[in-house]
Structure 1
Amino acid sequence: MTGIVVHPTAIVAKGAQLGAGVKIGPYCIVGDNVVLANDVELISHVVIEGRTTIGAGTRIFPFASVGHQPQDLKFHGEESRLEIGERCTIRESVTINPGTEGGGMLTKIGNDCLLMACSHVAHDALVGNNVVLANYCGLAGHSIVGDYVRFGGICAVHQFVRIGSHAFIGAQSMIDGDVIPYGLAVGNRARLAGLNLVGLKRAGFERDSIHTLRAAYRMIFSSEGTLRERVDDAAVMFKDAKLVQEVVSFISSAKDRPLTLPQTGADEE
């Protein structure tokens, strides 16, 4: 391949696969089963191990540790994988672990994600596209994060938690329950604080769609009847509203963790 630049102090295993235009800076280590697609850049002091694939155009900054064995006592050396998408930015001291036999054998991060310094993505986590983890955020094992989710600094996400697309998680929040798509969650333990209206507007959603979603939100998280009854009613009343149906489907498919509710919401099934 043409245009590959490897600094003399870097160590690249013979089995590693490097695409065109890859740049590997000083003191980096690239393992035998690593695949770096075109134009990946490792700035310096980056260590990539395991069965790890890095998508085209991704940049990884100093002291990131990518693909080392999971921090899970149940891991016994199984040949699990880590996949990182295209055009991601992985900043200093980020740690990302591959999957485990108990979680599908795969940790996956989508395209165009930003993982700021000292953030962590644990084994078997599935992260969508255009996700931002601010500094010191941690995603525990088996967590699922939808597209365009934004995390403030120093957030922690409990294992098996799902966070729906376009949600916003406020700084220093501890998320131990599922967060609906387009939701705004904040606190320790986090509570739902409304919809991510700023994010919806920035993403270009139509005004009418946002108003409809707000009406459905008020209905779903009111105090009348049970949560299940309100979700079923919203599914019927807003059957033609795409955003509402996404929220309804998300709530209905809950399995491993409780739902993050507003402060005044009843903790009910």
Structure 2
Amino acid sequence: MSAASDIHPSAVVEPGAQIGAGCVIGPFCVVGSDVVLGERVTLKSHVVVTGDTVVGDDTVIFSFAVIGEIPQDKKFKGEKSSLRIGARNRIREHVTMNAGTEGGGGVTRIGDDGLFMAGCHIAHDAIVGDRVIVVNSAAVAGHCVLEDDVIIGGLSGIHQFVRIGRGAIIGAVTMVTNDVIPYGLVQAARGELDGLNLVGLKRRGVDRSDITALRAAFQMLAQGEGTFQDRARRMGDEQDSQYVQDIVRFVLGDSDRSFLTPGK
């Protein structure tokens, strides 16, 4: 335990926990024996971090969050599993993040610079990229993949094994049961692919030529001939924009789900 850390007298830090320099552990927190906190991690009051959990540098976890508990999976039999959280995340009140399962690879992974708003849930074996935002009370089920820069709207649910591509946005109060292409915009109660996340693309300063290429690619996916994968292959041959190639890579990648397609 680093002598430079600030640990409230009421906090419980179990023997074996590794606490990095500059950490702040507030009142009534519990830190388990297998936990590793990086440098300058802050736990507000009443935070539980348990299990084989690593929390990256400069992450802040707010009150009543429970991080690293066993998965909510009836198949879990107590096998060794873990949670790995990257740097500079903001994990707000009442957030839950579970460790992995043997059937899903044993690890739940969270990238860097994420914002996980109050009451949201990240389930076992999920893989979450960098700069992801999960809004209040949204739930990401087991084995999901959220690529970089994804936004999940409040009160939304992501079905197990679903992949959501880079830069996509899911509207509030939406149930997503199929894969979502990169830069897609999903809305409606049962999750309809309703276009592109143009606002997000413009905010990130994406060049107008790339946005034009994405628009054309989306039209090809919506109206072209052949299967969805056939259209994606043809789109990749015709467009050299890296953003379009992101969609091609995603559509042709391995998946346990079908895709949300334009108009469905």
**Partner SS state of residue 223, structure 2:** coil
Query: How far off its partner does 1:244 sit?
Result: 0.8
The 5-angstrom pairing of residues 128-139 of structure 1 reads 128-139=129-140
Query: How far off its partner does 1:2 sit?
Result: 3.9
- Superposed CA deviations along residues 7-56 of structure 1, whole A, max 9, x for unmatched, are 11110001000000011000000000000010000000001110000000
- Superposed CA deviations along residues 161-186 of structure 1, whole A, max 9, x for unmatched, are 00001001100010100000000011
Q: Partners of 1:4 and 1:34 in 2: how far apart?
A: 15
**Partner SS state of residue 186, structure 2:** strand
- In the alignment, structure 2 segments of 5+ residues that lack a partner are none
**2:162 maps to which residue?**
161
Query: How far off its partner does 1:254 sit?
Result: 4.2
Q: Give the residue type in structure 1 aligned to 2:211.
A: I
Q: Give the residue type in structure 2 aligned to 1:10.
A: A
Q: Partners of 2:141 and 2:147 in 1: how far apart?
A: 15
Query: How far off its partner does 1:252 sit?
Result: 1.2
- Confirm whether residue 29 of structure 1 aligns to residue 33 of structure 2: no
Query: How far off its partner does 1:60 sit?
Result: 0.5
Of 249-258 and 24-33, more deviation after overlay is shown by: 249-258
RMSD, matched Cα = 1.0
Distance 1:126 1:58, change over 3 A: same
Q: Give the residue type in structure 1 aligned to 2:258.
A: P
Q: Partners of 2:64 and 2:224 in 1: how far apart?
A: 49
**1:259 maps to which residue?**
259
Query: How far off its partner does 1:223 sit?
Result: 5.3
**2:173 maps to which residue?**
172
- Superposed CA deviations along residues 179-235 of structure 1, whole A, max 9, x for unmatched, are 000000112210101000000011111110110111011011115443233222212
Q: Partners of 1:250 and 1:224 in 2: how far apart?
A: 19
Q: Partners of 2:236 and 2:68 in 1: how far apart?
A: 41
Q: Partners of 1:215 and 1:91 in 2: how far apart?
A: 39
TM-score by length of structure 1 reads 0.95
**Partner SS state of residue 221, structure 1:** helix
**Partner SS state of residue 103, structure 2:** helix
Q: Partners of 1:125 and 1:117 in 2: how far apart?
A: 18
What is the number of residues matched between the two proteins? 263
Query: How far off its partner does 1:255 sit?
Result: 2.1
**1:4 maps to which residue?**
5
